[in-house]
Amino acid sequence: MAIGASEPLIVRSSAASEDGSEQSQAGKYLSVLGLHTDEQLSQAIDDVFSSYGDPTPADEVFIQPMAQDVALSGVVMTCDPDSGLPYCIVSYDESGDTTVVTSGGNGTRTYIFVPGHDVPKPLRGLLPAIDEVVNIVGVKEVDIEFAITNEATVVVFQVRPITTRGIKDGTWGDRIDGLLRSLNRVKASIEDVNRFNDGQGLVGHTLGVMPDLNPAELIGTKPRSLAASLYRHLLSDTAWATAREKFGYRDLRSIPLVHMIGGTPYVSVSASVASFIPATVPEPVAQKVIADAQRKLNQEPELHDKIEFRVVPTCLKPRMRDGQWRQQFSSLSDDEWASYLDALGILTNRIVSGGALFDRAAEGIERLESAAGQVKQNAGRGLLDVLSLIEKARVHGTVLFAEVARAAFVATDILKSLEAEQLVPQGFLDAIVCASDAVGAQLVHDFAVLEPAAFLKLHGHIRPGTYEITVPRYDDPRGQYFDWVNRSVRGNPTETPAAAPVLSPAQISRVCLEFDQTGYAFGWPEFEAFAMNAIQARERVKHAFSWLVSDALEQLALIGADLGLNREELSFLTLPEIALAVEMRKDLSSFLRAVARRNRRAWETTRHLRLPDVLCSPKDIFGFHVFESRPSFITGNTVEGLVTGVDDISLKDGILFIENADPGFDWVFTRGIKGIVTKFGGENSHMSIRARELGLPAVIGAGSRFESWRNARVIRLECAVQRVEILR
């Protein structure tokens, strides 16, 4: 057979393992494009069959004419393969290359929508094609590879059944109706939050899972009831606002920062932005700042985990009076902008020069550690003891933590600005963090040099998932976090901490001149000491207050066991319900078990809902793009290694992939990893801090690219040029 030169062919894989009802490996195998000769076709058929490994008699290949004049191509799934919910998930590329999506290439966009709701204009022609394919094959749950030409003709390349372990009860129409009922309840919750914020004078309705306190990183996007309740009570109800009000920001102590919507913790962006405006700024100017900041985030939602660096200024930084920041707040007049920056300058001077903060931090850490050290868990204690421990953590720990965390952020922000303006060398911030000898580096050092009992006495209270009772602590034998026999740590554990980086006299002179021109009331030596103290204090307070939280959860587990409730059941209680159980004096076991069952049912109802990371409008929940994130690259190093996960037997020399990580995941740094990639997180998130302390290459906040990178076998992180390369 001779192939016509004007009609190039493509050979596509069609292995039996791709098309089964119990499994799917779509996109795993080879496809060969642009075939013009018999020899090319024959070789391509052999190559595609070879990519299956050991072909079976049921394996086939497709030989098709190549689509011409392609404007858009991709894959649409007519249901969520994890849950079975009837979402349509379209991954598409507009480059004209029909292999980009299936090969996991860069540039892919994903749009998720509920049937019956609108889609972006380029995808509208796809809707009748989906209906036609479903009618032909007689299966609702299908995966369709397609292209759309410049003349809006839809070309279907391949159709496979979707493998799903999720919901299959009821008719397809019943499942769509059920999903719409759930989403309409979510819509009503969003509208309630919007009305509340409007009543508080907070302009704008944007919500996000990562702005400010980073709930997606700390408790996940679908936390259980107890973890969500603890996190909100300790951090997001009042502690965050109390600390900021003390520093001179606007007082938002009566306004919650985080709202549970559809089982997902969302930060109110208007409340967050408002809390970073100095209290002395007039209300009309503050309203403009809030509106401009939200407009920026709505235009670039990938900045949702960087709002304090890129969306709203929280301190005065060098060379802010012109350039990007001035353009971003275009609704302010020149006089309003100048007065706003003056107010930020007064606030910044107050934070940096407020040395008493670190004296309070040192005293607070001692109180926390002393209180935690006196806790003796036993089943004879009651629920009031649990609530008391949590209150100690809140009163003595979380406001202090919010204060020192804000100070550390100001230090980090100014140092990053100095780097960006080339007033200090690149990597100077990382060197400052390394020299601070913070808790993460100390934990790795202690693991290398201490006996297990001594190590666990210092760090045994830590758990991956600070607020999650079902997760074992470090000192729980079930955890098995540490390999005591084959200790593997980065660097030489006997080395003394790195010395603080030293600027030359000429560099110090340049920085001091810049500080004077900025309007700072402090010089370089005072700022350097402030930065070192703030970074170290933040980690020490975090380590100390989490001790009391951890002890409270262990005490609750003991009481639960005495009542016949396991940790799984206890994880679906909330603090108010625990307090109510104490007040009611009824059968505690029956009452708490009934509450846990009810809360679990609610969690199961919402945990598979697909909601956007940034909500600009209630209608977004019915159809939204999964936006491309802008990861933060930590250190300027390059490293390559095997892709690993926390459940792998060995992490040594691997690049660890982890969706979200709080301080409890510091154990991974004792396993000899070469780098780390997270799905959530920003420049000031926990894993960013740890990576800087340890000089560990990291990509923080990979977002939509996380899954495609994690599916690789070997990758290279090139942090200096901000690039991740899949090697195989």
pLDDT tens, residue by residue, 200-217 = 989 889 999 988 888 888
What is the predicted pLDDT for the residue at 107?
64
Q: Which of 87-91, 519-523, 584-588 has the lowest mean pLDDT?
A: 584-588
Listed residue (642, 630, 634, 637) closest to 702, CA to CA: 630
Helices (runs of H) and strands (runs of E) counted in the chain: 24, 20
DSSP labels, 555-605: HHHHHHHHHT--HHHHTT--HHHHHHHHHH-S-HHHHHHHHHHHHHHHHHH
- Calculate the dihedral angle through the C-alpha atoms of 174, 177, 183, 185, rounding to the nearest 10 degrees: -100
Q: Which residues of 407-431 are buried (b: 16+ CB within 10 A; e: fewer)?
A: bbbbbbbbbbbbbeeebbeebbbbb
Q: Averaged over 566-585, what is the pLDDT?
A: 93
Residue with tokens 């980090």: 412
DSSP labels, 432-476: HHHHT--HHHHHHHHHHHS-HHHHHHHHTT--SSTT-TTSPPTTS
Domain 68-169 - what CATH class?
A: alpha beta
Delimit the domains of the chain by residue range: 1-66, 68-169, 181-353, 358-563, 625-726
What is the per-residue pLDDT across 640-664, written as a single tens digit (0 to 9) for each? 889 998 888 888 889 999 887 777 8
Q: What is the 3-state secondary structure (H, E, C) of 492-556?
A: CCCCCCCCCCCCCHHHHHHHHHHHHHHCCCCCHHHHHHHHHHHHHHHHHHHHHHHHHHHHHHHHH
- Tell me: pLDDT of 340 over 90: yes
Average pLDDT of the residues of the chain: 86
What is the predicted pLDDT for the residue at 89?
92
First-to-final CA distance of the chain:
35
Q: Averaged over 224-245, what is the pLDDT?
A: 94
Residue with tokens 């602590």: 473
Q: Beta strand pairing status for 9-14 and 258-261?
A: unpaired
Ranked by mean pLDDT, the top range of 13-27, 163-177, 231-245 is 231-245
Q: Is 335 in contact with 341 (CB distance < 8 Å)?
A: no
Q: How confident is the model at residue 98 (pLDDT cuts 50, 70, 90)?
A: low
What is the predicted pLDDT for the residue at 167?
63
Q: Averaged over 218-230, what is the pLDDT?
A: 93
Q: How confident is the model at residue 186 (pLDDT cuts 50, 70, 90)?
A: very high
Q: Is 472 in contact with 463 (CB distance < 8 Å)?
A: yes
What is the predicted pLDDT for the residue at 598?
97
Q: Which of 260-269, 365-374, 446-455 has the lowest mean pLDDT?
A: 365-374
Helix axes 575-584, 383-393, angle to 10 degrees: 140
- Tell me: pLDDT of 494 over 50: no
- Tell me: pLDDT of 168 over 70: no
Q: Please count the residues of the chain.
A: 728
Q: How confident is the model at residue 682 (pLDDT cuts 50, 70, 90)?
A: confident
Tokens of 516: 């004077």
- Tell me: pLDDT of 24 over 50: no
Listed residue (511, 727, 551) closest to 639, CA to CA: 727
Residue 452's CB is within 10 A of a number of other CB atoms, namely 12
Instruction: Collapse the DSSP code of 39 into the 3-class scheme (helix H, G, I; strand E, B; otherwise coil) and give the result.
Output: helix
Q: Which of 56-65, 223-232, 382-391, 591-600 has the lowest mean pLDDT?
A: 56-65
Q: Is 154 in contact with 92 (CB distance < 8 Å)?
A: no
- Residue 419 CB partners (closer than 8 Å, separation 6+): 425, 426, 427, 428, 429
Give the global pTM.
Answer: 0.85
- Tell me: pLDDT of 490 over 60: no
Listed residue (41, 14, 40) closest to 27, CA to CA: 14
Q: Beta strand pairing status for 70-77 and 88-93?
A: antiparallel
- Residue 638 CB partners (closer than 8 Å, separation 6+): 697, 716, 717, 718, 719, 720
Q: Which residues of 536-566 are buried (b: 16+ CB within 10 A; e: fewer)?
A: bbbbbbbbbbbbbbbbbbbbbbebbeebebe
Q: How confident is the model at residue 574 (pLDDT cuts 50, 70, 90)?
A: very high
Percent of the chain residues past pLDDT 90, beyond the cut = 44
Tokens of 244: 């900021």
Q: Letter for the amino acid at 368? A: L
What is the per-residue pLDDT across 276-333, written as a single tens digit (0 to 9) for each? 999 999 999 999 999 999 999 989 888 888 888 889 999 999 988 878 899 999 999 9
Instruction: Collapse the DSSP code of 719 into the 3-class scheme (helix H, G, I; strand E, B; otherwise coil) and give the result.
Output: coil
Percent of the chain residues past pLDDT 70, beyond the cut = 91
- Tell me: pLDDT of 675 over 60: yes
Angle (CA) 700-473-665 rounded to 5° is 10
Listed residue (209, 116, 131, 222) closest to 622, CA to CA: 116
- Calculate the dihedral angle through the C-alpha atoms of 212, 216, 219, 220, rounding to the nearest 10 degrees: 170
Q: Name the β-bridge partners of 641.
A: 715
Q: Averaged over 217-225, what is the pLDDT?
A: 90
Q: Identify the H or E element spanning 411.
A: helix 399-420
What is the per-residue pLDDT across 686-721, written as a single tens digit (0 to 9) for each? 788 888 888 889 998 887 788 878 888 888 888 877
DSSP 8-state class, residue 155: E
Residue 325's CB is within 10 A of a number of other CB atoms, namely 16
Q: Is the dihedral of CA 645, 646, 652, 656 positive or negative?
A: positive
CA distances from 449 to 290, 453, 670, 706 (A): 50, 12, 12, 35
Q: Averaged over 452-474, what is the pLDDT?
A: 91
- Tell me: pLDDT of 378 over 80: no
- Tell me: pLDDT of 28 over 80: no
What is the predicted pLDDT for the residue at 21?
40
Q: Is 119 in contact with 110 (CB distance < 8 Å)?
A: no
**625-726: in CATH 3.50.30.10:** yes
